[in-house]
Amino acid sequence: MRTLVIGTGNKHKVQEIAPLLGGLNVNLRAAGEFGPFNPVEDGNTLEENALIKARAAYQMSHEWSISDDTGLEIDALNGRPGIYAARYAGEGCSFEDNIYKVLREMKGVPIKKRTAKFACVIALCIPGQKAQTFRGECKGWIRTDRRGNGGFGYDPIFVISGLEKTFAELTTEEKNTISHRAIATKKCRDALAALLK
């Protein structure tokens, strides 16, 4: 069985990614199991930051490694928070701090102008091969208040286009069929399946 290291310290991501990679002959491990995992994410794009983390996980573990980076691009905020989604309200901020800042900045913006998209990029590092990246996107809009008790991050205020539910109102199974991370992970899973043959 091949060890696959996930370059993250975020337990939510490991929990979300694990079911999406089901059926692959891999043993998932977090990069944090090999030592402190705090790579500096100083890239300018999701692709660059995902690669920084996947390469750091590989250097620590010397195993096949993947990592993702996720961003939320809100049109009314000129694409912010973008790659800074996790730390939009400042270093050490909570999910609630980030939501509060977004809602405050968007006060008075009409529903039709609250369009947004979530994007996720997964990077894959394998010895002797060029690193690969896989992108998934999910379009929607930002509510004026929170709705739903599931998920994490901006899930309670992001409404999925065509579904008219927030990510926080979906079950994990539902989220794993339509989310930006699900789309990117499926592309990565297909590549992994081919490599594992």
What number of CA atoms fall less than 13 Å from residue 166's CA on the CB side? 19
In a 13 Å sphere around the CA of 41, the CA atoms on its Cβ side amount to: 24
Asked if 69 is an active-site residue, the reply is yes
Instruction: Report residue 57 as tokens.
Output: 């996980």
How many CA atoms within 13 Å lie on the side-chain side of 15?
8
Q: Are 184 and 68 in contact (CB under 8 A)?
A: yes
Q: Which of 69, 97, 155, 190 is catalytic?
A: 69
149 three-state secondary structure: coil
- Do 181 and 151 contact (CB within 8 A), yes or no? no
- Is the previous residue joined to 81 through a cis bond, with omega within 30 degrees of 0? yes
Catalytic residue numbers, as ranges: 69
